[in-house]
Structure 1
Amino acid sequence: MPALDASVSEARRLVLERLREWGVAADSRDNAQLLVSELFTNAVRHTDSEKVSCELWVIGVRLRLEVTDEGGGEPLQRPCGANAVDTEGENGRGLLLVSVLADEWGIRPDEHAQGHAVWAELPCDRTVD
């Protein structure tokens, strides 16, 4: 998708659509949408990317999502805890939120070693038919 603020809502919509198709329960869908929103927003605002991609996998009872940018801009860092976050400012809370919602998450170089792939895993509850 284009690395634009408007693409964040489209990414959320597409994630919701796919997770509904896969029978993922509402709570898991909501958490995944929030994670994708935070990671996609970071990629748009803090890199020099023209495109940002998002991938989803359901692996057993786990949902893994990954947002990949093309690089450039500010380096991504893990938050060091609540004291490292500017609670009055607009920035800095996204990765803290990711660390709270995701059981595990991380940052790795993308396959071309130019950008970043930020991934997160969370429990994946299914709907009962």
Structure 2
Amino acid sequence: MMTGLAHRQPAAPPGAGPQVEVCVLHRAPTTLPDVRHWARAQFEAWHVPADALQEAELVFSELVSNAVLHGYGDVVSCRIEAGAADLRIEIREHVVREGAHTAAPPPDTRSEDEHGRGLLLVEALSSDWGVAPTLPGPDGCRRVWARIGLADR
């Protein structure tokens, strides 16, 4: 049982192009083990090669942990997609309560202190990654995404 997680069905039917899965969770540290297990199970179901699976698992874990532990939203949605050339991981922090939004600055991957090293790993393991601007207002969200290349694996 996934405590605190609201799992949705696949966003794309099998064989209809890229495989997509979405999971929505309340922003609470107790949800992290379950959502990490959910992502790994999806990557394994998609037969992601072992080296790419390890990279995707680490990148997913860092991004979702940052959203849950350091984010500003009430709800976090996780979207993972497997295409022919890459895996795409997208984490969104959603504000659903009025007054809950306090804009967090974009992450600094150059930080040498104890925090921020996870994003250095994300940068090193991803073929591409980024942070979309925070949208203002009660429906605002911040989106962090990464791609893990699958070519030549």
1:120 aligns with 2:146: yes
> Over the residues paired in the alignment, what is the CA RMSD in angstroms?
2.4
The offset of 1:111, in angstroms, is: 8.0
Which residue of structure 2 aligns with residue 57 of structure 1? 81
Provide structure 2 residue ranges, at least 5 long, that are not aligned to the other structure: 1-24, 96-100
Is the CA contact (8 Å cut-off) linking 2:107 and 2:116 kept in structure 1? no
Pick the structure with greater CA Rg: 2
Greater helix content: 1
The within-5 A match list for 1:48-127 is 48-70=72-94, 72-73=101-102, 74-80=104-110, 84-86=111-113, 89=114, 91-109=115-133, 114-124=140-150
Greater strand content: 2
User: Percent same amino acid among aligned pairs?
Assistant: 30
Which residue of structure 2 aligns with residue 37 of structure 1? 61
Find the aligned partners of 2:45 and 2:91 in 1 and give their Cα distance.
Answer: 20
The offset of 1:110, in angstroms, is: 6.8
The count of corresponding residues between Structure 1 and Structure 2 is 121
Q: Secondary structure at the match of 2:26?
A: coil
Q: Which segments of structure 1 move beyond 2 Å, counting only runs of 4 or more?
A: 71-74, 109-113, 124-127
TM-score if structure 2 supplies the norm length? 0.69
